Chains A and B, each alone.
Chain A
Amino acid sequence: MKLHIALFGVLPYLALASFVIGHIWRWRYDQFGWTTRTSQLMEKRWLMWGSPIFHAGLLLLILGHATGLLIPASLTTWLGISEETYHVIALVGGLLAGSLVAIGLTLLLLRRFVTKARLRIVTRSADLVMYVLLALTASAGMIATIGVNMLGGGYNYRETISVWLRSLFVANPNIELMASAPWLYQTHAVLALALIAIWPYTRLVHLWSIPLGYLVRPPIVYHSPVRK
């Protein structure tokens, strides 16, 4: 029980604190390092396949997780989506996005650690930690989806995990609910929390720099040293 309190009552807040404070610190002191850390100069053929597949899958996954975790089941029921329909949509969408991430990440990891010595030169320890956590989190999520929801009897995480997550935001964590979840889901959640904790110290920060402003700005940027 003490372990459950630590993992599901304390760790989320530590991770969140690290996430918020880390981002503020990074933005204030290291905008210069706030980049994608692209390695396309070093290798292009594997990246042309791996990177778009991985990123497309990941963006879908983030969208799916936001839907499943933040929207209460009562809202979707009220909208007329039955539990079974929701389950099928979530399973198919999750499998699709998860497979894209799995394929993309495999290609990217093979690229980075098998193909060329050049890529190892530009790999930093922060990249390594991030790769390990990302791969483990994705694996746990995939195994839970396939093992429990597709082949097994299914597990309605929206009644437990989602409620626990939302309870975190009102500073009243419902630890018992999360403690009742299958261990695969618990592992996935803890790994994800660790990923959130290290987020601001890795290249993952480039997610916040998606350049949507580019679509509306004039093409040529002029800077004047002194305002006229």
Chain B
Amino acid sequence: MRIRAQMAMVMNLDKCIGCSTCSVTCKQTWTNRDGVEYVWFNNVETKPGVGYPIQWEQQLRWRGGWKLDRSGRLRLRAGRKLWRLATIFANPNLPVLDDYYEPATYDYDALVSAPAGNQMPVARPLSAITGQPMKITWGPNWDDDLGGSQLYARTDPNLAAMTQKVKFSLEQTFMFHLPRICEHCLNPACVAACPSAAMYKRENDGIVLVDQNKCRGWRMCISACPYKKVYLNRLTSTAEKCTFCFPRIEEGTATVCSETCVGRIRYIGVMLYDLDKVEQAAAAKDNLVEAQRGCFLNPFDPAVVAQAEADGIPSDWIEAARQSPVWALVMKYQVALPLHPEYRTLPMVWYIPPLSPILEATTALGGDSASADDIFHGITQLRIPLEYLAQVLTGGDVDLVAGVLMKLAAMRSHMRAVTTGVDPEASGVGLEASELEAMYRLLAIAKIPDRFVIPKRHKEEGAALAAWESGCVLDAPTTVRMAGPVPVAAPQFANRSGRRP
């Protein structure tokens, strides 16, 4: 048992209103620069829908993530090492700009500089890449709220595996929003695919980063990531990705997307996991969600604590792991599920499935969306939303999703009984009344200190970091091993002219 700590996130999809505030604040912070105009480290998609980039879930096309070969060994879907090196001159699986979208701006200058005339001047759309006039025909959230679903949502790759057909008529359809960032996986395919070893996972907090000084632009990470959350900067031709806002995390502050989330849907906390179980879990034949849960270690177990201390995890981090809302939602209540576990990367941003499609369908069928019986009936009868959620969150295991929804429904009816002064019935989902109420507090009214339990990075590490970040390697203690990564692009242009020995 080798224990490592991982910063992880849970998003409660029932509370996501799809406002995209997370995307906008992330963009303003990280990708508001030349070269990454088309890049959204955080984006919000409507499901069912094609997503960003278009059909990113279609792994038959992009060959992202891992698969098991005939003898049951874990392999990158893109092929063997030699084959991937042979395709280094032209990566057959790489999305191009049009698979994301061509960003546009408007010719605002025409509004004030146009000569006097009979017509009002118009600000025509211009490509933010080339500056040429363009027609805007696609965007990163073009099919928002099922807009144009007859055209777009029908081509959602998740629908192909479903036995029943989703109907896109207004009365019968369902939808939910899916905010996505880098999953900071336990078994990251992007890292495994990087020919230059420029991508790495931090041992102390699990954040996956790109060393900008080591990236040579081989672009294998971009196709290998099944979530398409590594991007190519078109000007520097290096890879860039979500950094989990590590400068904020190191200071004990939530990521920008979480901090600014209007619906307060995001939770951040520490998870302790067993490094020795990772490969085995990623290569599990089935029950991938269960296998990944098997990697996580109980921070209340004295044996785990002793080993964690031996592995150099600071005691305040172990304490944070005990209070971690991610631990509570993933392991204690088991209501959070990973996004596409079948990609076998062991993602570390988990999702609480939305109950709202079931509630709406229950109401549409004439049931009472506050009655546990009616909802339970809905969960067992309404196969279409269930099957779809299972495609997205459990790799097709409908029972697993149904079990989570049952818990959410039980919590709902319990709290309704409590508020209306009725004696609550036994939940029937294996949770005590006190647990249901604690879960309710965490899901419905948790304040910032409950949602974000983020231990600061330790000062002794920080001192070493500050020394090499200032470029003075000789001043740094000799314990520093990392060769000066510049993991994000913000300082990169300064770096181009500045010294970095």
Where the two chains meet, the residues of A that have a C-beta atom closer than 8 Å to any C-beta of B are 28-44, 47-48, 51-52, 54-56, 117-118, 121-122, 206, 209, 211, 213-215, 217, 219-228
Q: Within the complex, what minimum Cβ distance (angstroms) separates A224 from chain B?
A: 4
**A52/B89 in contact, CB under 8 A:** yes
Whether A211 contacts B85 by the Cβ 8 Å rule is yes
In the complex, B480 has a CB within 8 A of chain A:
yes
CB of B171 closer than 8 Å to a CB of A: no
Picked from A29, A41, A219, the residue with its CB within 8 Å of the CB of B94 is A41
Across-interface contacts of A43 in B (CB, < 8 A): 96
Q: In the assembled complex, which residues on chain B have CB atoms less than 8 Å from the CB atom of A48?
A: 90, 92
Contacts of A223 in B (CB 8 A): 200-203, 481-482, 485
Residues in chain A near residue B500, CB distance under 8 A: 29, 31-32
User: Which residues 103-141 in B have Cβ within 8 Å of A in the complex?
Assistant: 129-130, 132
Q: Are A220 and B191 in contact (CB under 8 A)?
A: yes
**In the complex the two chains form, is A52's CB within 8 Å of B200's CB?**
no
- Write out, one digit per residue, whether chain B residues 80-95 have a CB within 8 A of any chain A CB (1) or not (0): 0110010011111010
> How far does the alpha carbon of A28 sit from the alpha carbon of B187 in the complex, in Å?
33
List residues of B (209-234) whose CB comes within 8 Å of A's CBs.
212-219, 232, 234
A32 touches B213 (CB 8 A): yes
- Chain B residue nearest in CB terms to A31: B213
Query: Is B164 on the interface with A (CB-CB < 8 A)?
Result: no
Interchain nearest-CB distance for B279 vs A (Å): 9
As a 0/1 sequence over residues 44 to 64 of chain B, the CB contacts with chain A under 8 angstroms (1 = contact) are: 000000000000000000000
Which residues in B have their C-beta under 8 angstroms from that of A41? 94, 96-97, 219, 232, 234
B371 on the A face (CB < 8 A): no
Chain B residues with CB under 8 Å of A228's CB are: 312
Given contacts A37-B237, A40-B94, A219-B192, contact A226 B464 (CB under 8 A): yes
**Are A40 and B485 in contact, CB atoms less than 8 angstroms apart?**
no
Interfacial chain B residues near A117, Cβ < 8 Å? 130, 132
The 8 closest A-B pairs by CB, nearest first: A211-B195, A35-B217, A219-B192, A36-B217, A31-B213, A221-B200, A224-B203, A214-B195
B232–A221 CB distance below 8 A: no
Point out the residues of chain A lying under 8 angstroms from B195, CB to CB. Answer: 211, 214
Interface presence of B197 (CB below 8 A): yes
B130 contact from A33, A118, A214, Cβ within 8 A: A118
Q: A32-B495, A211-B85, A215-B82 are in contact. Are A38 and B217 (CB under 8 A)?
A: yes
**Contacts A214-B81, A221-B197, A227-B481; A35 near B238 (Cβ below 8 A):** yes
B102 (CB) vs chain A CBs: closest residue: A118
B204, A224: Cβ atoms closer than 8 Å: yes
Partner of B96, one of A44, A51, A220: A44
Q: Which of A28, A42, A52, A211 contacts B218 (CB 8 A)?
A: A211
| Interchain CA distance A175-B242 in the complex, whole Å | 58
| A206 touching B191 in the complex, CB below 8 Å, given contacts A223-B201, A225-B202 | no
Report yes or no: B216 in contact with A222, Cβ–Cβ below 8 A.
Answer: no
Question: Could you name 24 residue pairs across A and B whose Cβ atoms are closer than 8 Å?
Answer: A30-B496, A31-B213, A32-B500, A33-B496, A38-B218, A38-B237, A39-B234, A39-B237, A40-B90, A40-B219, A51-B89, A52-B89, A122-B234, A211-B85, A211-B88, A215-B82, A219-B191, A220-B191, A222-B201, A223-B201, A223-B481, A224-B482, A225-B204, A226-B480
Measured between beta carbons, the chain B residues less than 8 angstroms from A54 are 89
Contacts of A42 in B (CB 8 A): 96-97, 234
Instruction: Name the distance in Å between B34's Cβ and chain A's nearest Cβ.
Output: 10
Instruction: Find out whether the CB atom of A209 lies under 8 angstroms from the CB atom of B479.
Output: no
Q: How distant is the Cα of A38 from the Cα of B237 in the complex, in angstroms?
A: 6
Query: Does residue B501 face the partner (Cβ distance < 8 Å to A)?
Result: yes
Contact A40 B91 (CB under 8 A): yes
Query: Is A118 in contact with B97, judged by CB distance below 8 angstroms?
Result: yes
B89 to A55, Cβ gap below 8 A? Answer: yes
A206 touches B96 (CB 8 A): no
Q: With an 8 A cutoff between CB atoms, is B460 at the interface?
A: yes
A201 → B minimal CB distance (Å): 14
Are B188 and A220 in contact, CB atoms less than 8 angstroms apart?
yes
Other A-B pairs beyond A41-B232, A221-B194, 17, CB < 8 Å: A29-B499, A32-B212, A32-B236, A32-B492, A35-B215, A35-B217, A35-B236, A37-B237, A48-B92, A121-B130, A206-B216, A211-B218, A214-B194, A215-B81, A223-B202, A226-B480, A227-B481
Q: How far is the CB of A107 from chain B (nearest CB, A)?
A: 11
Smallest beta-carbon distance A96→chain B, Å: 18
User: Is there a chain A Cβ closer than 8 Å to B307's Cβ?
Assistant: no
A217's nearest neighbour on chain B, judged by CB, is: B197
- Who on chain B is nearest to A48 by CB? B90
Check A220/B201 contact, CB under 8 A, given A36-B237, A39-B237.
yes
- Most chain A CB within a 10 A radius of its CB, from B130, B219, B236, B496: B130
